[in-house]
A and B are shown apart, each in its own frame.
Chain A
Amino acid sequence: MSALQKSLHPAEKYKAGKLGVSLQKIGLGIAVVFLALSLVLGATHGDHWKRFLYSYVIAWAYIFSICVGVFWLVMLHHLVRGRWATVVRRIAESMSMAFPIVFVAGLGFVIPLVAGYQDLYYWAHPDAALCLEKVAAGCGEYLHPTLVHKLGWLSPGFFAGRYVVYGVLYTVMARYFTKKSREQDDSGDPQISERLRVASGPAMIVYALITCFAAFDILMSMAPKWYSTIYGVNFWGSACVGGFSALALMVLGIQRTGRLTHSINQEHYHDIGKWMFAFTFFWAYTAFSQFMLQWYGNMPEETVWYKYRLFGEWQWVSIAILVGFWAFPFVFLMSRWTKRIVPSLVLFAVWQLVFHWLDLYWNVMPSYDWIASFHDGAQIVAGPLTGSPAYHHVGFSALDITVWIGLIGVLLAGFGKNLHGNLIPVKDPTLGLSLAHENL
């Protein structure tokens, strides 16, 4: 490996200038327009906001996952004293500083939930705790015996409380890494790198815990009687695919404005591509583990989740994700050339970002159709993942697109807000190595 160092090109434009402000304005503009449009569409959908809120949760999980994926690179880079990524680290830090605005945007579904909205998460619906048979002083038979005991955990209040905790912790951590990194721009103090390295260990631990639990809370509880211990890890894998893909696009976008054209080259894109490849594989590994183990054990309380994804209309989406999110990118990202030729890498980044959304959609939407049933003459809501798979439609809607664009606008606004000052950590001790980085 080359121990060569290079210095920053004298003519390099590394100041963000107006870039961040413009991006923020554009982002906010897109957000306002498309979220307003979504509100109109949602109100007229005729299902009391249910479709709107589902689109919202999916799109929010999308923008949240991109921040999660990008932030991971920042922490890892410090933890292992990485060298190649220094040139893109400031961009990644700025992207991860979108956490606060993302969590503010998430209030769009959390507040209705706390205010008593019943149709988003089944555990917030009164029928989840329905007692079918009164026996003296207690309840003899619950509609959902394996759901009732966790309704304390899965209650709107506690859920919202945890949501706030996640938001605060992500923000605090992202802010710490970004702030200290920017401080180093002035002083060039190598001690700052050391302090960040020391901080990255505990940060990783906190990050792992809150990412897993955020996935459990926001996505896994869409099917509240189902469970999978690897779910959080699987979510993190797909988040990193999305994060690295978004990073590639962001870096390209910044270079298109004439900035950082000398500093970031094929070699760095190659490495971003390697991480995209690695996480595509890792996602497939965790997704396969989850699927195969639950298929093999054949226990109804677990296979129910897959039943609604492998039969009926959803089987086509499942196949599309298998081929599109894993097989095709995996085979083509194997070669070093697809990662080094920037247009090719960008194609795969966009491709993976699309399929990452589809994966999240696949995780959430089969729980959309709640089947009604009857008990003692009264209509009750049996909840998600019940009834014949034929009744569970894939159901793409225009809302998915408008809400998604709107929240992408929020994300871009978040990126833009923090894209100021130096776009590259000018006095980072490893900058020279990063600039000279070469792959075999």
Chain B
Amino acid sequence: MTDETVHETHAVDHGSNGNGEDGRLFGVLAEYDTPGELVEAARKVRDAGYTEFDCYSPFPVHGIDEAMGIKRTILPVLVFGGGATGTLGGLLLQWWCNAYNWPWNISGKPVWSIPANVPIAFETTILLSVFTSFFGMWILNKLPQVWHPFFRNERFNQVTDDAFLLGIEARDRRFDADATPALLKEAGALKVDSVHYDPDPATARMPKWITAFIVASTAFALIPFAIAAKARTSHSTEPHIHIFPDMDFQPKYKSDQAMDLFADGRENRGELAGTVARGSLNADDLFYRGLEAGQWSTGFPKQLEINDALVKRGKNRFEIYCSPCHGYDGRGAGAVPQRVAAGGGAWQARNLVDASNPVVINMPNGQLFNTISNGYNTMMGYAAQIPHADRWAIVLYVRALQRSQNASLDDIPSDHRNGMQMPEAPSR
């Protein structure tokens, strides 16, 4: 249904239906000659109580904000907030990365170096302020909005060139089909058009090709992420592809690699004759080998203080390394022989405390030490597992065991004798 507007133009209606009919009325659009007249018209319209109206011009017209009663935008406040977030974020980023998560010393500067952190904090402040300002403005302006009903009016094309238009939307409370155009005319409009929605429902829907384009481009955009996600794990037995070789393939030999440069085919050239690796000299015969002038030592190395702590240490080490075979009491019936017996076999470790067959009791300390280090018969050497000092501690404990397992009541100090009945249970 076509309206009877005050000044009908000869404008071609775009997209009206076959009957030349138009859709629902959107609003009226008035054109003015000069920016000044536009401002005055806007003032009149505002004074008349209209709110759903806007002015359209190729450049911002000075004075129109006040004439239209446009409230100051909240954008500066948002930008301030964005900037403050940027400052805090920049400082937090630098603090967390360089002073908290992995602090490291760079030329003696404090890990939390405020003067050195200012430049980046400044830049992040500006960056976030800029983003807030830019995106905030478009969002507040509700743009992008590529279509607006007023674009159906041919004069609207000229807004970006030289035209000054004022449009009032029909949904305004005070809109009246006659009075509104009359008001605009009175304010000096060159012409007043009415603008209708397109009646064709197809134009209200997004064209199929745009939908397809968005779906396709989104799908394409996800492809790199999908590849990256897939590439995080691989079950391939092939080596990685090195796009940039960097220093991944270095012309050098790795330890114990085969090497045909030498006749023996080895990269490892062994120890050089007449040299000793640092820390491997071990000159002290007594401490390292239990020998004193070529004979098994009967005492203990001077480095070690023979005290309760050393005995306890020896006990602790004995119970870890020796008790599986020799038992907690040293009599040779530890967990391993028990296991063998449970399987139907018979095997006993050496009884270390046997007074009736005092082989071990009579063994000098140095020889005991040597047995611990290098083993004996089926016993393996424990040199690789037990440091030298600990071995001496074990020797000391074995001596203590030998005494305690063959002790009589007289060996116990008088003040400890009361209440002693059974031997102590082994400690765990």
Chain A residues in the interface with B (C-beta under 8 A):
2, 288, 291-292, 295-296, 298, 334-335
Contact of A295 among B62, B80, B115 (CB under 8 A): B115
Within 8 A of A (CB), among B101-133: 107-109, 115-116, 118
Contacts of B116 in A (CB 8 A): 292, 296
Measured between beta carbons, the chain A residues less than 8 angstroms from B62 are 2
- Min CB gap A5→B, angstroms: 15
Cα–Cα, bound, A334→B62 (Å): 24
Can you report 15 residue pairs joining A to B where beta carbons are below 8 Å apart?
A2-B62, A288-B115, A288-B118, A291-B115, A292-B115, A292-B116, A292-B118, A295-B115, A296-B109, A296-B115, A296-B116, A298-B107, A298-B108, A334-B80, A335-B76
Closest to A331 in B: B80
Q: A174–B76 Cα gap in the complex (Å)?
A: 40
Residues of A within 8 A of B118 (CB): 288, 292
> Could you say which residues of chain A place their CB within 8 Å of the CB of B80?
334
Contact with A along B299-338 (1 / 0, CB 8 A): 0000000000000000000000000000000000000000
Besides A292-B115, A298-B107, A335-B76, 7 other CB < 8 A contacts? A2-B62, A288-B115, A292-B116, A295-B115, A296-B109, A296-B116, A298-B108
- Across the interface, which residues of B come within 8 angstroms of A334, CB to CB? 80
Number of interface residues of B (CB under 8 A): 9
Closest to A335 in B: B76
Q: How far is the CA of A288 from the CA of B109 in the complex (A)?
A: 17
Report how far A295 CA is from B108 CA in the complex, Å. Answer: 12
A310 to chain B, nearest CB (A): 11
Report the Cα distance A296→B118, complex, angstroms.
12
- CB B11 to nearest CB in A, in angstroms, measures 36
Which of B80, B108, B115 has its CB near the most chain A CB atoms (within 10 A)?
B115
> What residues on B are CB-neighbors of A295 within 8 Å?
115
Chain A residues near B109: list those with CB within 8 A: 296
B residues with CB within 8 A of A? 62, 76, 80, 107-109, 115-116, 118
CB distance from B83 to the nearest CB of A (A): 10
Nearest A residue to B119 via CB reads A292
CB distance from B118 to the nearest CB of A (A): 7
Residue on B with the closest CB to A4?
A: B62
Most chain A beta carbons < 10 A, residue from B62, B80, B109, B116: B62
**Which residues of chain B are near A298, meaning CB under 8 Å?**
107-108
Nearest CB of B to A18, in Å: 41
Enumerate chain A residues within 8 angstroms of B108, measured Cβ to Cβ.
298
Expressed in whole angstroms, the Cα–Cα distance for A295 and B107 within the complex equals 12
Distance A153 CA – B404 CA, assembled complex (angstroms): 94
Chain B residues with CB under 8 Å of A2's CB are 62
The smallest C-beta distance from B370 to any residue of chain A, in angstroms, reads 60
List residues of chain A with CB within 8 A of the CB of B115: 288, 291-292, 295-296
A295 vs B119: C-alpha distance when bound (angstroms): 14
A343 to B243, CA, bound (A): 67
A335 and B77 CA atoms in complex are apart in Å by 10
| Nearest CB on B from A439, distance (A) | 12
Whose C-beta in chain A lies nearest to the C-beta of B62?
A2
Provide the bound-state CA to CA distance between A194 and B116, in Å. Answer: 47
CA distance A292 to B108 in the complex (A): 15
- Distance of B261 from chain A, by nearest CB (Å): 50
Top-10 shortest CB links A-B: A292-B115, A295-B115, A2-B62, A296-B116, A291-B115, A288-B118, A292-B118, A296-B115, A292-B116, A298-B108
Alpha-carbon distance A295/B117, docked complex (angstroms): 13
Question: In whole angstroms, how far apart are the Cα atoms of A331 and B279 in the complex?
Answer: 65
Q: Which residue of B lies closest to A3 (CB)?
A: B62
Q: How far is the CA of A2 from the CA of B115 in the complex (A)?
A: 43
Q: How far is the CA of A37 from the CA of B108 in the complex (A)?
A: 51
Residue of A nearest to B63 (CB): A2
Residues of B within 8 A of A292 (CB): 115-116, 118
Residues on B with C-beta less than 8 A from A288 are 115, 118
Chain A's closest residue to B107 (CB) is A298
Per the bound structure, the CA–CA distance linking A292 and B109 in Å amounts to 12
CB distance from B132 to the nearest CB of A (A): 15
Q: How far is the CB of B63 from chain A (nearest CB, A)?
A: 9
Name the distance in Å between A293's Cβ and chain B's nearest Cβ: 9
Shortest CB–CB separation between residue A306 and chain B, in angstroms? 10
